[in-house]
Amino acid sequence: MITVEEAKNKLLKNTHISSQELIGIDKAIGRVLCEDIYSPISLPSFNQSAMDGYALKLQNKNKYELIGEIKAGDNHKITIKKGQAVKIFTGAAVPVNADCVVIQEIVKEENRYIIIGDYTPGKNDNIRLIGSHIQKGEIALKKGTMLTPAAIGFLASLGVRHIKAYKSPVVSIVTTGNELQQAGKPITAGKIYESNSFALSAALQEIGVYPKFIAQLRDDKKILHSTIQRLLRASDVLILSGGISVGKYDLVRETLQRLGVKELFYKVAQKPGKPLFAGKKRNKMIFGLPGNPAATLVCYYEYVYPAIRKMQGFSEYFMPKKYVKTSEAIRKKADRAYFLKGKSAYNGVLPLEGQESHMMKSFAEANSLIYLPLEKGDVKKGEEVEVHLLPRT
């Protein structure tokens, strides 16, 4: 059996970053830039008024001759002389030789003149100077940046419409088990509702991945073989749930072996999720997650999530971690690592009731996983523990 640390190292060493593609910024949310973006223009690209008011050329008196008006979007080449002003609006191009903009609220307009109240205008007041936000040719966003709504808006403001980003992997999900029944119909004897595909699909969607195929299969060698073969061809990442343990009807591992999947590891010294399988075929990653729902999801967050993040081009693969005090003692044997569903706050974490691997109620209340390494024994109340913060959309 391999340790959690060894398993993660081996997995990430074997995970490749996805290839690149040119995409429209309207489709780029959550994607990672694979090259620096240089600004194609200066921003603002002309001296721009920050306010509604009057652009003027300074003199000593507070009375100015009003010679015209410039609205946002206008393109007149007005020049003004000392002692003259133009009415101007937010976002409009300030006359090239204007000294400043005086806000409308402190100005009185009379006939063809304006009088400024109790205020001494200063050079460049209320003018956004050319290139003061960014200069043409300067780096706007660095390689490795994740495109957030703000980053996308910024790129659009520079006139950038397409960018090169790492591809998001194509992911498919396979659930296995004769007992599984689709939600929405009354349950029949001996069956349970299939839930892992929903949890996995939702977790993937949190990182911008919409599963390509979701198959629900019986524990049948032929069916498993043909469907897994087909989905492997169509996917970069294949996530299987169930059928990976040692029971007579656990057929996933042998099916994967027969399909030429190279095993990276099988069985990790951890609870939950001991019979975790990870494998590879060319650059495709294959995960066999134990079927118990909480084990499935723990293994997803701790192993599948970081592998996909690496493929997506992120430099931080794992969930953010922090070290805080546990508000309850935890019984633990020093033979395996534990992942416990926890509710963490700023200065502490509560290990929740219901830690068994089939229990999802506690997982639904959790916002983090408490990680206790293999060699750790019982944990005292108030002891500091490592906490992994679950991603939240």
The residues of the shown chain that bind ligand AMP, judged by CB under 6 A, are 175, 177, 179-180, 192, 194-196, 241-245, 247, 250, 290-293
Minimum CB–partner distance for residue 5 and ligand AMP (Å): 24
Minimum CB–partner distance for residue 195 and Mg ion (Å): 13
Between CA 365 and CA 253 the distance in angstroms is 32
Q: Is 293 one of the binding residues for Mg ion (CB under 5 A)?
A: no
Q: Which residues pair with 315 in a beta bridge?
A: none
Query: x/- string (CB under 5 A) for Mg ion, residues 229-268?
Result: -------------xx-------------------------
Choose between 102 and 251: whose C-beta lies nearer to ligand AMP: 251
The DSSP secondary structure of 168-199, one letter per residue, reads PPPEEEEEE-TTEE-TTSPPPTT-EE--HHHH
Q: Is 121 one of the binding residues for Mg ion (CB under 5 A)?
A: no
Choose between 242 and 279: whose C-beta lies nearer to Mg ion: 242
Closest Cα partner for 13 from 265, 345, 349? 265
Choose between 180 and 311: whose C-beta lies nearer to ligand AMP: 180
Q: Is 177 one of the binding residues for Mg ion (CB under 5 A)?
A: yes
Element housing 126 (H / E): none
- Contact in structure between 21 and 167 (CB atoms under 8 Å): yes
Which residues, at least 6 apart from 247, have a Cβ–Cβ distance to it below 8 Å? none
Residue 11 backbone phi and psi in degrees, to 5: -60, -50
Minimum CB–partner distance for residue 241 and ligand AMP (Å): 5
Which residues, at least 6 apart from 96, have a Cβ–Cβ distance to it below 8 Å? 47, 77, 79
Which residue's CB comes closest to ligand AMP? 291
Choosing among Mg ion, ligand AMP, none, which partner's interface includes residue 175 (Cβ < 5 to 8 Å by kind)? ligand AMP
Residues 302-361 that bind Mg ion (CB under 5 A): none
Choose between 179 and 353: whose C-beta lies nearer to ligand AMP: 179
Which residues, at least 6 apart from 9, have a Cβ–Cβ distance to it below 8 Å? none
Choosing among Mg ion, ligand AMP, none, which partner's interface includes residue 124 (Cβ < 5 to 8 Å by kind)? none
Which residues, at least 6 apart from 44, have a Cβ–Cβ distance to it below 8 Å? 128, 129, 130, 131, 132, 133
Minimum CB–partner distance for residue 310 and ligand AMP (Å): 26
Minimum CB–partner distance for residue 242 and Mg ion (Å): 4
Choose between 222 and 248: whose C-beta lies nearer to ligand AMP: 248
Start-to-end C-alpha separation, the chain:
34
Minimum CB–partner distance for residue 167 and ligand AMP (Å): 28
Minimum CB–partner distance for residue 14 and ligand AMP (Å): 24
Q: Residue 53: how many CA atoms within 13 Å on its side-chain side?
A: 24
Which residue ranges make up the site for Mg ion (CB under 5 A)? 177, 242-243
